[in-house]
Structure 1
Amino acid sequence: MSLLRFTQNFYGTVMLQTRKNLTLEEFLLLPEDDVTYELVDGEVISKMSPKFFHSRLTKVLLKLLERWGENKGEVAVEWAVVLMRQGKSWVPTPEILFVSYQKLSADWMENEACPVPPELVVEIISPGQTFGQLAAKARDYLDAGVLRVWVVDSQARSITVFYPDAPPQTYMGSTPIIDALFEGLEITAEQVFQLAKIPGN
């Protein structure tokens, strides 16, 4: 019997499963390849391959966050982060994350997963995923100590911000996303989708 099989999990992503639950240490020792994996409940999950709109949105958001975050912290694309979910090790790989130099020193230089919960993670809904699935993942991030989660929906042309201590808020059009946690950062959903050249519905 093969050690591997494919199913779909509650986030709507394809799971590459082993016959036994992997520990965090075993997962982190897996060889790198062209596929991005996450660890959820001891199972190895293969993230969906980004499509064109997804790639463009990632690029635009990265540029905007890097411009704002210079000298403030690390802005990274698809950098795995070691967290806890329901008492078990969890290693998600968000499209983008921001972790401040207050949480992770500027001189930290290890070729490893992010060892602390970042202030911000950005997840972009892929074809085959639903907003509800990403909202569930956002709650897991918040429960694990992440302070903000942005869920980007190219169909709705919206960015929904999830908070640990307040209801989520959805931004569309020219309403700016202003957050005291990210002083000086002011962007709008329409700005992001226009810069990414995502056609309207």
Structure 2
Amino acid sequence: MILQANNQLTLQEFLNLPPGEGDITYELVDGQAIPKMSPKFFHSKLTRALLYMIERWCEGLGQVLVEWAITLTRRGQDWVPTPDVLYISYERLPADWDEDAACPVPPDLVIEIISPGQTFGQMAAKAKDYLDAKVLRVWVVDSKARSITVFYPDAAPQTYMGDQLFTDSLFEGLEFTVEQVFKNAKIPINNG
């Protein structure tokens, strides 16, 4: 279901919409309120594992949050995506910022986990949109391939799998392997 199929929603109209029924979350894309896919079991377990891992690393540096909408611009239009996980440093959003609102600035990191019915290509296109909106890193997590692909604003994407060690100068001190993430999430090797 798409809200306002014929009329373009402004950013303020979108932000003023009542909450969706049940657990439906909407994203503002090209002036339309588009429902986001409801997470399934593996998706939720991966979200939790990534959240805990980044939360341990970022203590005192910033915040890591689940499904927090962000006000950005995409192709010259207001865009409000709701990533699965995001990390925002206190340099980008001060620790004392305390409003019940969408994230007002681009975060340092956005994590999107591919859901059933989504393709890697769709997520790669969304990653480019995030980078164009000044997000510094985008991770696309593929539970079937057991991989994390990192998108950078100034370099080609890099896919991490298995026991390959992830490091990034933007996240100094954060080191992990993709296999550790999947083990912590208790995702079986043959998950579908």
* Same fold at TM > 0.5: yes
Q: Deviations over 1:138-179 (max 9, x none)?
A: 000000000000000000000000000000000000111100
Provide the residue aligned with 1:180 in structure 2: 169
Alignment partner of 2:112: what SS?
Answer: strand
Distance 1:95 1:17 in 2: 24
User: What is the Cα deviation at residue 74 of structure 1?
Assistant: 1.2
Distance 2:166 2:19 in 1: 36
Q: Which of the residues 20, 25, 28 maps onto 2:15?
A: 28
Does residue 1:40 correspond to 2:16, yes or no? no
Structure 1's unaligned 5+ residue stretches are 1-5, 7-14
Amino acid at match of 2:116: P
Alignment length (residue pairs): 188
Amino acid at match of 1:18: A
Q: After superposition, where does 1:4-153 map in structure 2 within 5 Å?
A: 6=1, 15-33=2-20, 34-153=23-142
C-alpha root-mean-square deviation of aligned residues, in Å? 0.9
Amino acid at match of 1:67: R
Distance 1:189 1:113 in 2: 30
Moved more, 31-40 or 163-172: 31-40
Distance 1:98 1:115 in 2: 13
User: What is the Cα deviation at residue 18 of structure 1?
Assistant: 3.0
Give the alignment's TM-score, normalised by structure 1: 0.92
Distance 1:144 1:30 in 2: 23
User: What is the Cα deviation at residue 35 of structure 1?
Assistant: 1.1
Provide the residue aligned with 1:157 in structure 2: 146
Distance 1:75 1:113 in 2: 14
Q: Deviations over 1:96-144 (max 9, x none)?
A: 0011001100000000000000000000000000000000000000000
Amino acid at match of 1:94: P
Identity %: 69
